[in-house]
Amino acid sequence: MTDVDVAQSNTPIVIEVAAEHTYDVIIGRGLLGELPRYLAGVAKVAIVHTATLGASAEAIRDDLESQGFEPVLIEIPIGEEAKSVEVVAFVWEALGTSGFTRSDAIVGLGGGATTDLAGFAAATWLRGIRVVQIPTTLLAMVDAAVGGKTGINTAAGKNLVGSFHSPHGVLCDINALETLPRNDLVAGMAEVVKVGFTSDASILTDIAADPSGAADPNGALLTDLVRRAVQVKADVVGRDFKETGSGGVIGREALNYGHTLGHAIERVENYEWRHGAAISVGMVYVAELARLGGKLSDADVLAHRAALEALGLPTSYAPGRWERLLSAMQMDKKARGATLRFVVLQGMQNPVIWEGPDPALLVAAYEAVSSEA
């Protein structure tokens, strides 16, 4: 039986993540019945969700009530607006009003912003309570909900306040992707392609062979791509949970490929760009930077553009915004003092850290991605 055959079967795929504690990521269809077993010993359950998922949150609430839990619905704003001090304070107040103790739990139901916010609230309430993530977007399934990074934004930049707090379990129900807006699904593919560039070349091969199938939530290929992307993240997180690296090995920071410029674009655009679209441009940018630095070939850069464009992702950005982008990048989490650090490829599937590239190369790489806009 092939990997795609496994993905097409009704048997859920279970991937184990070994971090500060071990937990499962389950990938399949119709998984909400799995939730109660991740809440064993819990009395109260806060279901953090957006208005668009109100009906799903209510269905989960009713099911948990029927099994003896005490669920509480907490509605938060949609998208990056949720990731603020004000919203997390609202969640804390709701938890306090409802009497949540250390033996209670939070469920994050939604996209990456929701799971980031829910995870951060769980990490900080009483110095840490259980969180179970139910990602409903492709981006959240392959990236945000897995790995234990939680955080909120500030006026200075994205995810600058956060913590490492692993979930108790992650339920990736592929059925949720069937109603996801097409642009959101395509944007989520950027994080899948990222794994292809940094770790698993077979992802790029399969997307090139069937780009429409890769983004088809009703097909087996997308499920298998989710599996492979999650497996890579699980392996990396297991080796380097807190992104410290060791022995000169890049570790978890490899997962930030394309994110330095990508996060800057998000900030400059006031978070009106989808995360995956910004990261797509960010990956082409660092590919161009690596080419200029002699680390990638022209063909490797063309491979970046081809893979992303085949899925309908952007590979260029507007000219004339370099100074604003540079200012945003200088506040990036990966920067060290005044030194910018980029994850680049020293050949495909070989990510390395490049500290303090020549400013002239940074500008030249920007011109390479802005010339088409």
Cβ-contact 170, 145 below 8 angstroms? yes
Instruction: Give yes or no for a contact between 46 and 98, defined as CB atoms under 8 angstroms apart.
Output: yes
Residue 281 token pair: 């441009």
Rounded to 5 degrees, what are φ and ψ at 12? Answer: -60, 150
Going by the DSSP 8-state scheme, the letter that residue 193 receives in this structure is H
**Cα angle, residue 267 at apex, residues 204 and 203 outer, rounded to 5°:** 5
Residue 76 · residue 91 · CB < 8 Å: yes
The residue whose two tokens read 């995360």 is 275
DSSP of 201-260, one letter per residue? HHHHHHHHH-HHHHT-TTSHHHHHHHHHHHHHHHHHHHH-TTS--BTTB-GGGGGGTTHH
Taking the C-alpha atoms of residue 363 and residue 27, their distance in angstroms, rounded to an integer, is: 41
Q: How crowded is the C-beta side of 42, counted as CA atoms within 13 Å?
A: 27
Among residues 135, 231, 236, which one has the least CA distance to residue 188?
Answer: 135
Amino acid, single-letter form, for residue 142? V
CB 97 within 8 Å of CB 122: no
Catalytic residues: 127, 149, 191, 233, 243, 252, 256, 259, 263, 275
In one letter, which amino acid is 159?
N
How distant is the alpha carbon of residue 274 from its chain centre? 12
